[in-house]
Amino acid sequence: MILFYLICCEIYSVLLIIFSTVNLNLPKIVYIALGSNVGERFEILQNALDEIFLEVGDVQQVSRVYETPAWGFSGNAFLNACVKVSTRFTAEEVLQKLLKIEANAGRKRSDSKNYQNRSLDLDIIFYEDKVIKTESLVVPHPQMQYRKFVLMPLVDIAAREIHPLLEQSVSSLLSTVEDKAEIKLIAKTLSLPKHSFSSHQFNYIAVEGNIGAGKTSFTSMVSQDFNAKLILERFKDNPFLPKFYENKERYAFPLEMSFLADRYQQLSDDLAQYDLFKDFVISDYDVFKSLIFAQITLPEEEFFLYHKLFHLMYKELVKPDLYIYLYQDTGRLLENIKSRGRDYEQNIQPEYLMEINKSYLNFIKTQTSMKVQIIDISGKDFVNNRRDYLEILKEIKAQKAPQPPKGE
């Protein structure tokens, strides 16, 4: 019975990939203003920029830094800048992260409506072209069009961005602003935080993992962040599937062969079509998973034949430079499965997940011709915690890409 359950769950997991990828959490662009007029102002802005990278998203552009007089009160001069950030978090989530960064920099907010000195001030100026108005957040920033110290650095990186309410570009708003404050450009420039992961490190990465490990989410995020061609396992109507339900012993072999054929065809097509506009390829599966599940479902004699046929097909495929297995502990897998709410998965037992993990690890131990990396993601939430995501990328970076033989 467990063999039947294994293959059914594999099929259902593949089927749902198509539907889950329709609603991928695509990155959004947010523009953030930074200011400081207390302490080591420039260092505070640089630290804030680094924290934004770690907590909010990729910092794509940073403006020059301007010194400006205090606006609306008598106080020390500010250093101001603006940054363009690609983030997967909602505007409200970004706000909460910015407030945390402010607090860590020593910012103490008060209930007073009067302006005052502050070690760090972080404001969301634009979030895509959205208009947001809640008790805690108003976007676009309601005062931006009146503030030269916001518009000048914003023009550096977003001159053509259109204010969704005023229907004017940022450069147009700056040209008509009535604020006459004297703004001085300083010589020092903020450093743009960068990933340790290099998009040119590998040509082809295959990512595998147990049910609920998040391999599709991870590969999708990497493809978006590093301009990679994304290959997601597809599912086609399988004529052997209903027959397998009726007679597992008779139809297990043709069912596994049909899955192998489809995976082979997809990888052959996708890997043969070189994309000039992408830097590398990443997939959320490797065809070797066919061997893993076939070994579970097929009797010894049939698996022996399957093994021969597999290697005849496999030798024609482009091999990944790196095979990554995302290891997640069973308890967390069950939590992930429960939280994503797929009805057919809710009865998955811990023993089943442990069996899959054992099969993958046994397979990995036998690999000598493929560069394999096991990344323990137990206790990590790389979808909702950007630091976890960056830590995984750092581990991949530590792997050296295979070198071609001498003379090539």
Instruction: Name every residue whose Cβ is closer than 8 Å to that of residue 320 and which is 6 or more positions away in sequence.
Output: 204, 205, 206, 283, 286, 370, 371
DSSP 15: H
Please name the helix (run of DSSP H) or strand (run of DSSP E) that holds residue 10, with its range, or none: helix 2-22
Half-sphere exposure of 302 (CA within 13 A, CB side): 16
User: Which two tokens mark 83?
Assistant: 């940054």
| Residue 14 main-chain phi, psi, to 5 deg | -65, -40
Instruction: Name every residue whose Cβ is closer than 8 Å to that of residue 78 and which is 6 or more positions away in sequence.
Output: 35, 36, 37, 41, 67, 68, 69, 70, 71, 149
Of the candidates 323, 325, 227, the one whose C-alpha atom is nearest the C-alpha of residue 281 is: 227
Sign for the CA dihedral angle at 89, 94, 97, 98 comes to: positive
User: Which two tokens mark 262?
Assistant: 């489809």
User: Which two tokens mark 263?
Assistant: 């995976």
Q: What share of the chain is helix, strand, coil (3-state, %, to 5)?
A: 45, 15, 40
Distance between CA 252 and CA 11 in Å, rounded?
A: 13
Q: Which residues are catalytic?
A: 284
